[in-house]
Chains A and B, each alone.
Chain A
Amino acid sequence: MRAFDFAVPHDIDDALGLARDESAFLAGGTTLVDLMKLEVVSPEQVIDINRLPLHGIRPEPDGLRVGALERMEDVARHPAVAGPYPVIAQALLASASPQLRNMASIGGNLLQRTRCGYFRDVATPCNKRSPGTGCPAQHGDNRGHAILGTSASCAATHPSDLAVALVALEASVRLRGADGERTMPLADFYLPPGDTPHVENRLRPGELITEVIVPPLPWAGRSRYVKVRDRQSYEFALASAAVAVDLHDGEVRDARVAVGGVGTVPWRLPAVEDALRAGRSHEEAAALAAAGARPLAGNAFKVTLVQRAILRALTELAGPR
């Protein structure tokens, strides 16, 4: 690990004032410390943000507000989350391990980096880590990679389970930088790789995520996160589905569907939602999930897997149809 300066600010303005281009904020450290050991990232300064007042899980009229430093485990177990938004609690509890969830923050979770093996290995080329060096995953080991939103430059998945649930629920992130605050939908926050896979989101250097806001959705109580992976626990998704349904007399009137493990960003599926709203069968709707998919040699199985993950979520929520 490269040497760095360390700072522990106690208020947000101090933290923003300290930040420079080569700084990194440290929350739970479960992504950052890992990548610093691998020298995938080598910040000159690490700013420990854990003493900042970015806490709280509060239902408010405009939605549920979750402070960026709240830990995954605490958010998952909170009654204001688990009751009205089971899909969030399930996505969190299907993530990582209890120890990691005790450490990892909500803000850090949304900013975790891909698990692509080439990205994590500084001995190999990788456009995301070293722009312009190439993407060995295109013709190499790509079993875990994305089939949606990929480019010739990068096919890495965004690995967060939480982000998939939040995109389905149309959540926003609140950001604060030295020149003020802004709020944007999480779906707009993430950027597909295009020619610039090293730019993953709209966060500016030195800017903090302060809060996540989940708007009210009265029928989100009927929601589910289905995660398919190589082992039952402590593993990232091969394919996952975050689904909520508005059910009347056994019929789906409205739905939210987003998928993970298959997209370069958390992937909302408006076509599947439209089909469900139009009364198409679950199977017909789920079949639209991989429209436009570009599988690589090793991951064509994800086309079927993601459809089945959606179908299973729908069946569990609304019965077979």
Chain B
Amino acid sequence: MEHGDPSLRSSSESAANRLVEVTCTVNGTARSLRVDPRATLLDTLRERLELTGTKKGCDRGQCGACTVHVDGRRVLSCLTMVATLDGREVTTIEGLAEGDRLHPVQRAFIDQDGFQCGFCTSGQIMSAVALLREGHASTDGEIREAMSGNICRCGAYPNIVEAVKQARS
């Protein structure tokens, strides 16, 4: 974007003139969007791109339900401004399976009964996929710590740890 453009500096501009152009990749598909700079990645995924697998729990960074990957790293989409994502690569829960073939972590959550209501699950799975790539979790305690940014109101924690262990092996 052209930050030298004086129209972007004037606070009296109408909302339309404040829109920002962003081109990023979402689950492997290039997307060009004109976005209100206030838009979070979470709202954009759910409301504009119709990718509702990513959930909104707290909208304040306190629960992890909205976890997605940006450039392969797990982040919270509720605190990420889409306007900052030009050129970045976003992966959501919808981007994990290959056709009908579930990702091994998705498979493991089903096999190990790693959820009850399921509201936190897409965030848990996105976190677990990243955790396995990061490679800092070998003991059960380390898995719990590495998954601690994902709150589960139903308390499915023991089975979530089992799911991570199954996916790891």
The chain A residues found within 8 Å of chain B, CB to CB, are 1, 3-9, 14, 18, 22, 26, 28-30, 33-34, 36-37, 44-46, 48, 50, 77, 96-100, 102-103, 232-234
Contacts and interface: CB of A to CB of B under 8 A. Distances in A.
Contact of A7 (B3, B38, B131): B3
A234 B11 CA distance: 37
A1 B18 CA distance: 14
A96 B40 CA distance: 20
18 contacts: A1-B38, A3-B15, A6-B18, A6-B20, A7-B3, A7-B8, A9-B3, A22-B11, A29-B79, A29-B80, A33-B40, A34-B79, A45-B9, A77-B136, A98-B146, A99-B67, A103-B76, A234-B149
Nearest to A33: B79
Interface in B49-90: 59-61, 64, 67, 73-76, 79-81, 83-84, 86
Q: Mostly helix, strand, loop or mixed at chain A's interface?
A: mixed
A263 to B, nearest CB: 24
B145 A233 contact: yes
Interface residues of B, number: 42
Given A4-B38, A29-B84, 19 more contacts: A3-B15, A5-B8, A6-B37, A7-B3, A8-B84, A8-B86, A14-B4, A18-B9, A33-B79, A34-B60, A36-B38, A46-B81, A97-B149, A98-B130, A98-B149, A99-B74, A100-B149, A102-B73, A234-B148
Contacts of A29: 79-81, 84
Contact of A46 (B37, B74, B136): B37
A3 B134 CA distance: 37
Contacts of A44: 11
Contacts of B47: none
B73 to A, nearest CB: 5
Given A1-B38, A44-B11, A99 B75 contact: yes
